[in-house]
Structure 1
Amino acid sequence: MLTPIRNVYYLSFPVVMGAVLSNRMATRLSDVAPVHWATPIMLALVVFIIYTVDRLLDVQRPDRPPTARHRFHHQHASLLWLVVAGAAVVALGLTFFLPTAVVKFGLVLGGLCAAYVGAVFRLPARHPALLLKEPMVALLYAAGIWGSIWVQRPTVSGVELTEALMFTGIAFQNLILFDLMEKRELLVEGQYKPAVFSLATEWGDYRCDLLLRWLTFGIFSCGLALCFVTADRFAQRSALMLGLMSLTLYGIQRYPAYFLRNERYRWLGDGVFWFPALVL
């Protein structure tokens, strides 16, 4: 019954929509008006392309991850490559409508993303550089959302930089949490392979749990501090909302058994990036 919804989820739709909503929040916080109409569309297409290509390359590796999302990409690889090609053509067409500053920024960021995806695909299964995957993805994801706005204005305030760093920390928190939860999920299903190489497996559950707790504490504390530092009501609301996003991810971490059922952690974990809609 939920197959169509699950398929939309496996296509990273929650992440794509989360990027668009987060971009709208960054737009309002930065007071850039008007932001070109093609900016959020381009962002959605690029996020979809990067996430989909990353998984399509993952499933070509002999040690491909055994998750349901990767099985979906493996079964529909031919069709998904066509969809990615179509999305790339549309994105290319949109570049002719975007401001020059956004196009230049997109070319640089797109080049970095392509280099990252290509490197990850070519590196050996247990190369130490693969441990940088989670922080790199978090940085690139946040850079696309906030950078596409900042290049359209002459200055960036300290409040904006702080909230962008909070958002980057949340993206990193999400990725590490998913690593831990996927590991536990595969252990329950009896499909876990010790050869799986990630920060979660190398650092171990205890150190990852400790990192996630400190991330939550730091992000939420920054959110509260910003409420006293700035008089901008929207900046205060968005700071508290970012703190709520981090606390929600901590709730998943705190009760793993509950959130492992029916992949609840995936739905809520990616759903936190829809929280900016609460303040828009």
Structure 2
Amino acid sequence: MPDNRTPINAWVTVILGLVVLGIYTLDHLLDNLKAEQPRTQRHSFIKQYEPIIWRLTLGSLLLAGCLSWLIPEPLWEFGLGMVAFVGLYLWGISRMKVKSHQQALKEPVTSLIYAAGVWGSTWYLGMEVSWESVWLGVIFYLITVQSLLLFSHFEAIKYREVFNLARWLQRKNTLRVLKIISLVILVVCLTICYLTEYHYVQRLSIILIAMTAAHYWMILNPEKVVTDERFRLAGELVFFLPGLVL
């Protein structure tokens, strides 16, 4: 996500998309290697089309690696660091037991990887990192955590055998955390809008508020998104909203 000061690099955007796709599918593929893994709708889909998805996953990661030569040189160091971190993460989750309390770490760590890839690449390309960019980066991370925790919440409702962060927190605490995140995002973004002198930052802050508002709507209307796992499509569409600020 650009900060309106750093030029947009199309290749960085393409590579980020390929890497996110690769990590997302590889995560599920590794989950399916565990015999005790609950068969949720998404895991069943991955299992059914496993050979195709393996090729798609490896192909997207290989293509991202080939295209990396087209990105600015300062990003290579950042990219190598991210590759090492993601590799360590995937190795760790592949060794986790399905019912382990460590499964609760997946959502915040996955959120960190995604937010770091989006915001970190912008910081590396920029000449300076403004206070607005730092705070908006933190807010973007919180929105990502909220999204994945929301997914976990709905999945825990639909599949009683699933063990994730929402199951670990329990339903009451999960809803409390989700609502607190929305409140924090609202307060911080409105404060940024008031203090900043950049109209772009104000527009982006409003977009981030809209994103958490969409999540909050899903919190209040679970019956409309749990069926057929519509919450996944709705939740992923939320992350297209920042494109409106360009």
Aligned residues with identical type, % of pairs = 30
Structure 1 CA distance for aligned equivalents of residues 53 and 129 of structure 2 = 38
Structure 1 CA distance for aligned equivalents of residues 230 and 165 of structure 2 = 22
Question: What corresponds to 1:32 in structure 2?
Answer: 6
The answer to whether the Cα contact below 8 Å between 1:216 and 1:250 also exists between their aligned partners in 2 is yes
Q: Which gives a bigger RCO, structure 1 or 2 (Cα 8 Å, sep 6+)? A: 1
What is the SS of the residue equivalent to 2:170?
helix
Structure 2 CA distance for aligned equivalents of residues 86 and 258 of structure 1 = 35
Structure 2 CA distance for aligned equivalents of residues 176 and 217 of structure 1 = 16
The answer to whether the Cα contact below 8 Å between 2:4 and 2:200 also exists between their aligned partners in 1 is no
With over 3 angstroms needed to count, the CA separation of the structure-2 counterparts of 1:261 and 1:80, relative to structure 1, is closer
Q: 1:125: Cα distance to partner?
A: 2.6
Structure 1 CA distance for aligned equivalents of residues 72 and 183 of structure 2 = 38
Structure 1 CA distance for aligned equivalents of residues 126 and 189 of structure 2 = 24
TM-score (norm 2): 0.95
The total of aligned residue pairs comes to: 246
The answer to whether the Cα contact below 8 Å between 1:49 and 1:88 also exists between their aligned partners in 2 is yes
The answer to whether the Cα contact below 8 Å between 2:74 and 2:125 also exists between their aligned partners in 1 is yes
Q: Which amino acid aligns with 1:264?
A: R
Question: What corresponds to 1:215 in structure 2?
Answer: 181
* CA RMSD in angstroms, aligned pairs only: 1.4
Of residues 39, 42, 46 in structure 1, which corresponds to 2:19? Answer: 46
Q: 1:30: Cα distance to partner?
A: 4.6
Unaligned runs of at least 5 residues, structure 2: none
Structure 1 CA distance for aligned equivalents of residues 42 and 228 of structure 2 = 13
Deviations 1:115-154 (A, max 9, x none): 1011101122333332211110111100000111111123
Structure 1 CA distance for aligned equivalents of residues 211 and 77 of structure 2 = 31
Worse overlay, 245-254 or 60-69: 60-69
Question: What corresponds to 1:237 in structure 2?
Answer: 203
Structure 2 CA distance for aligned equivalents of residues 83 and 138 of structure 1 = 22
Of residues 78, 81, 99 in structure 2, which corresponds to 1:108? Answer: 81
Of residues 69, 86, 105 in structure 2, which corresponds to 1:96? Answer: 69
Unaligned runs of at least 5 residues, structure 1: 1-22, 187-191
TM-score (norm 1): 0.84
The answer to whether the Cα contact below 8 Å between 1:223 and 1:243 also exists between their aligned partners in 2 is yes
Q: 1:197: Cα distance to partner?
A: 2.1
